Chains A and B, each alone.
Chain A
Amino acid sequence: MADPTQIGSLQIRNVSKFFGSFQAVNDISLDIQNGEFLTLLGPSGSGKTTLLMMVAGFLDISRGDIALDGASIATVPAEKRNFGMVFQGYALFPHMSVRDNVGYALSVRKRPAREIRARVDEMLELVQLQDFADRKPGQLSGGQQQRVALARALCFAPPVLLLDEPLGALDKKLRVEVQEQLKDIHRRVGTTFIYVTHDQEEALSMSDRIVIMRDGAIEQVGTPKELYERPVNRFTASFLGKSNFIEHAGKAFALRPEKIDLHPGNSHADARLRGTIRSMTYFGSMQRIIVAADNNTEIEVDIDVWRNPSNLAEGARVDLLWEDTAAVELQSG
């Protein structure tokens, strides 16, 4: 088997997908580095799953080309692409034991039984399921099934691993835990991960780069920090994290709620806006304050609870302050 760290770069060139007259993916081009953790993030209907299915080979490409390390794979059938995939709902084989599920890819490649056994043990150790090798998927919890799916997809050392909303079925607390494990596994196996999700927190916490998609097209590509700090348009700013939108001198700006300071009273010399506190919601680590500004907009402000001056209360007059760099100018769209 090839060393997965040496291969696994993917070139997506002007790819489009039509279903009848409906265009699900619209002329997407994207370069994915080997070993990268890349997330396709977007609301449902944004074409992210369609794009993933074309990479996996389950959907034909209507126009354009997809290449692995420079060689086109557009006409290679799914079973010959050697891409690992973790499916939504896991799609484990319900009639097989965990061991047989994980070893399936090697078994259909007719590898010797001893090699399969050793490799499966190694994979089960990676996902910490050594004690569950003989169980059936139906006897496992959701989180365990998810790990079996991951081990199964990685067992044949694929150059690229595709993950289609793999955490969608897990509850919130477990999701955070599995995110950590996924990141850890990515670091250890070094395979290129292409991860599809509509959950912005997942995307932010795990990805090397995020591709934000809407209506079959790419809105913005960048590291989580770039996207969060420098959203190019309104859609990106509101889809990834929360944002206030402010008009100034005919231009639109995005302003993150945590970058605004509140000052009680209306006396601060540097106040950019003045307003009245409409509501305050307590979230433990921070509180969200909605201010009805005097220019008839609503501004959301997140402030640390411990910094809350005691005289902030609903109905109180406040000044809003922020640094020059906090407001990001947006393109229209």
Chain B
Amino acid sequence: MHALTRHIHPGWLIIAPLFLLVVTLYLGPILNILWLSFTDPEPGLGNYAKLGQEGAQLRIVWTTVRICIITTIFSVVLGYSIAYAMVHAHRQQKSYMLTLLLVSFWISILVRTFAWLMLLGRKGLVNVTLEDIGLIAEPITFMRNELGVLIGMVHYMIPYAVLPLLVSMQSIDQRVMNASRNLGASGTQTFWRIYLPLTTPGLVAATLLVFILSLGFYVTPAVLGGGKVLMVAEYISVQLLVTLKWGTAAMLAAIMLMGVLAMLWIMSRFMKLSTVFGGATR
């Protein structure tokens, strides 16, 4: 024991149980999936080779990435506006806004998706209203297409975009904005040259969070896409439960994981990720 502690800092012994827990519960299964993707149904790169050969699988990956990018753009832009409004609202209104945001944040994704089902159907509230006021003659097809999926996903993702942005905006010193005005900058100049750069860490955090969470979306595409919009998560589930091609499922999961890690790595080349995820900014 003494010989051991001489080489290993005693601090490690204290965190050892947690460390083991993380290894067995996180790293283990992830390695298992990686392993599966190379070994099932037969050892080799077969599963990965198929991704390149089969247009269907590639198309699903591409659909997923495209939907996630669009979702991220809309969520972050809308989230930025909402966070901005919240930071600059009066205290009372701000707390109302935060409550509304958190309520929608806490409602189950299934409930929210079905709510959109009610609203967006051919005889749903949105189409009926638009027809009644004469804006459209024929109902708009909101569902069983990408539009419906995007509406559902953006709506779900907005709180995830708002929260990191809110933190970032709240930490801005109002005097810095005043300094910019005092030096003769217009509101627009102050926004582009001072406000936006200072909220960039929040913007990057929101973007990463929304994009990564979007990649794994399952319920919303399944319900609002109505089988017409197939995203990776749903496809993986089909491979696991219906066609029992675990190797293919594992391969797609591994690709997603690698994609996310690669993205984080690229980001880390440009900025300190610790500042993005709430670390010290100064």
Give me the interface of A with B, judged by CB distance under 8 Å: 56-58, 77-85, 87-89, 91-95, 104-105, 108-109, 138, 152-153, 156
Contacts and interface: CB of A to CB of B under 8 A. Distances in A.
A226 B219 CA distance: 79
Contacts of A58: 178, 181-182
A81 B180 CA distance: 13
Interface in B186-240: 186, 189, 193-194, 197-198
B182 A56 contact: yes
Contacts of A156: 183-184
Q: Which 9 A-B pairs have the closest CB atoms?
A: A91-B175, A105-B183, A91-B179, A108-B185, A79-B181, A85-B182, A91-B176, A95-B197, A78-B181
B173 interface: yes
A178 B282 CA distance: 25
Given A93-B194, A94-B282, A108-B193, A88 B175 contact: yes
Nearest to B187: A79
Nearest to A95: B197
Contacts of A109: 184
B179 A93 contact: yes
Given A87-B175, A93-B176, A95-B198, A104 B182 contact: no
Contacts of A80: 184
Interface string B156-176: 000000000000000001011
A183 to B, nearest CB: 23
Contacts of B183: 79, 84, 104-105, 108, 152-153, 156
Nearest to B281: A94
Nearest to A105: B183
A301 to B, nearest CB: 44
Interface of B: 173, 175-176, 178-186, 189, 193-194, 197-198, 282
Contacts of A84: 182-183
Contacts of B282: 94, 138
29 contacts: A58-B182, A78-B178, A79-B181, A79-B182, A79-B183, A79-B184, A79-B185, A81-B182, A84-B182, A85-B182, A87-B175, A87-B178, A89-B173, A91-B178, A91-B179, A92-B179, A93-B176, A93-B180, A93-B194, A95-B198, A104-B183, A105-B183, A105-B184, A108-B189, A109-B184, A138-B282, A152-B179, A153-B182, A156-B184
A82 B184 CA distance: 7
Majority SS at the chain B contact face: helix
A48 B179 CA distance: 19
Nearest to A164: B175
A149 to B, nearest CB: 8
A288 to B, nearest CB: 39
A56 B182 CA distance: 7
Contacts of A138: 282
Contacts of B186: 79, 108
A91 B184 contact: no
Contact of B173 (A79, A82, A91, A95): A91
Nearest to B177: A91
A152 B198 CA distance: 19
Contacts of B175: 87-89, 91
A108 B189 CA distance: 7
B194 A78 contact: no
Contacts of B173: 89, 91
Nearest to B183: A105
A8 B266 CA distance: 52
A93 B183 CA distance: 12
Given A108-B189, A153-B183, 17 more contacts: A58-B181, A58-B182, A78-B182, A80-B184, A84-B182, A85-B178, A85-B182, A87-B178, A91-B173, A91-B179, A92-B176, A93-B180, A94-B282, A104-B180, A104-B185, A156-B183, A156-B184
A156 B181 CA distance: 13
A56 B178 CA distance: 10
A94 B189 CA distance: 16
Nearest to A83: B182
A109 B185 CA distance: 8
B179 A85 contact: yes
Contacts of A108: 180, 183-186, 189, 193
